[in-house]
Amino acid sequence: MSIPLFDVNSQEPLFDPEQRRTLAEAALRSITASTAHARGDDFLRILVKDLAEALDVHYVIAGRLVHMDDGSEGIRTLALWGGDGYQPNIEYSLQHTPCQDVTCQSMCFHGSDIQRRFPFDSLLVDMRAESYVGMPLIDTDGKTLGILSAIDTRPIDENKRLLALLLLSIFSARGAAELQHQERTQQLEEIVRVRTESLLAAQANLVEQEQMAALGSLVAGVSHEVNTPIGVALTAASSMGSYADQLVQLLGGAKVSRAELIDIAESLKGAAALIERNLARAADLIGNFKQLAVDQVSEYVADLALHDYVHGLVSAHSPELRKAALGVELDIAPDCQVRLAAGKLSQIISNLLMNSARHGYPQGGPGRITIRARIEADGDEADLRWLLLEFSDDGIGLAPAVREHMFEPFFTTKRGQGGSGLGMHIVYTIVQQLGGQVCAIDCTPGCHIQIRLPLASTQA
């Protein structure tokens, strides 16, 4: 409750200067105590209420300087006390208002006739304002951030003016500090947002590059692998040409024996079989790699015969696996059918295979990788089924510190040796995108990764 310093009718002082000083100090202590633990807009709301009570005025406004749609400057109130309670915040132009003088960093005081002095300020008319005291909110760089003003429907005399200027000058500094803190917080948040977006874009780009690099590695391996059967086929084709020449010579001679014809025919048959086997091997390698390459850039959801599909993926990686002396065993039922995004599944298995080949056997193989898969029903939802995929090897395994961080981006045990640290993060990201879960199981020896992927309710 405020204690009036002046007679309501005459505006004569009710107390002598010493009493007024004591009351001013009491008002200052009261406002300081009530706003001590408040921050930001909460501080301003408490401040305008307490100032209105201490000064016994109808309105107190705390507002921020803003740019209006027409390019002019204006005030957007952050806290507005009017009469007996808080009023909705408003926005108004500074033109033809006493607040315009305040934003020029000068204290503004009009003890009476404020409407006559500013006849184009309709807000003063709506408030039925008679007097005005305003103080700018200036930051530490000397920039005007806003205003703090007291407006009353009665005149304010010189004695009350002194108290108003005292309180407004003290708390305008605190209000300016709050506005400056808000501005800097917003600037920092914007900087963080922009940098976070940049980092996420860079990370996405690196993940894409890692996926393309993995495909590039497969291209080199498949190219080398395909060269062998094609080279054998070319050699066999050359031999067939030689056998054909011998046959022509025999047929052009005076005599030709049955045994000689049978011998050349057998040679031609053997060469043809050799060509067929090796070209079929090359076609199989190229087909598996082509399917892998197409799948990894596709989001298409397809019905997959899981055993055959995973076998094709393993075959596409056979050059890298053979180089590391690793064998792969599939424990997947031949009739296991799933409906999944084939490209996502191929990326998961591809990264798991390459992770084992590059990290599981530092001294090289031999080693064995096992891929198990089965379909299980959700106990809570009968229609929801999951693909449980287990990938394990018998390599060096995972230290506790590695297991804890292995799915984080850029974490690698091959730092400085060509490891990007994105392989297992890609696995984690894809599994999350598909709505599944992935975890590393503590086991000895080797590495054991367990993945659960949701399947459509139509799957058996």
Same domain? 367 vs 448: yes
Q: What is the pLDDT of residue 151?
A: 93
Tokens 């993945």 belong to residue: 451
Nearest to 311 by CA among 274, 293, 338, 284: 284
* Rounded Cα–Cα distance for residues 224 and 426 (Å): 27
Same domain? 33 vs 179: yes
- Are 451 and 391 within 8 A, CB to CB? yes
In a domain, 201, yes or no: no
Higher pLDDT among residues 438 and 302, named by residue: 438
What mean pLDDT do residues 316-337 have?
87
Q: Per DSSP, what are the bridge partners of residue 144?
A: 138
* 3-class secondary structure, 253: coil
To the nearest 10°, the Cα dihedral for 195, 200, 202, 204?
Answer: -170
pLDDT at residue 213 above 70?
A: no
In a domain, 2, yes or no: no
Phi, psi of 390 (to 5 degrees): -120, 125
57-84 confidence digits (pLDDT tens):
999 999 999 988 888 899 999 999 998 8
Nearest to 176 by CA among 288, 44, 304, 280: 44
Per residue, what are the HEC states of 218-233?
Answer: HHHHHHHHHHHHHHHH
CATH number of the domain residue 359 falls in: 3.30.565.10
130-180 confidence digits (pLDDT tens):
999 988 988 888 888 989 999 999 998 777 778 888 888 888 888 888 888
- Are 323 and 316 within 8 A, CB to CB? no
Nearest to 282 by CA among 347, 230, 357: 230
In a domain, 194, yes or no: no
In a domain, 5, yes or no: no
55 pLDDT tier (thresholds 50, 70, 90): confident
CATH number of the domain residue 215 falls in: 1.10.287
In a domain, 72, yes or no: yes
Higher pLDDT among residues 407 and 86, named by residue: 86
Task: Provide long-range contacts, Cβ within 8 A and 24+ apart, for 1-5.
Answer: 1/53, 2/53, 2/54, 2/55, 2/56, 4/56, 5/56, 5/159, 5/160, 5/163
Same domain? 218 vs 178: no
246 pLDDT tier (thresholds 50, 70, 90): confident
* Rounded Cα–Cα distance for residues 269 and 266 (Å): 5
In a domain, 9, yes or no: no
Same domain? 72 vs 143: yes
| pTM for the structure as a whole | 0.45
In a domain, 361, yes or no: yes
Task: Write down the mean pLDDT value for the chain.
Answer: 79
- When mean pLDDT is compared over 124-133, 210-219, 316-325, the highest value belongs to 124-133
Q: In the chain, how many domains are there?
A: 3
Same domain? 45 vs 137: yes
pLDDT at residue 376 above 80?
A: yes
272-306 confidence digits (pLDDT tens):
888 887 787 777 666 656 555 555 555 677 788 99
Same domain? 35 vs 183: yes
Nearest to 347 by CA among 272, 420, 422: 422
Cα four-point dihedral sign 168, 171, 173, 178: negative
The DSSP 8-state label assigned to residue 154 in this structure reads: S
- Are 389 and 373 within 8 A, CB to CB? yes
Q: What is the pLDDT of residue 379?
A: 58
* 3-class secondary structure, 337: strand
Q: What is the residue range of 259's domain?
A: 209-295
Buried b (16+ CB within 10 A) or exposed e, 281-294: bbeebbebbebbbe
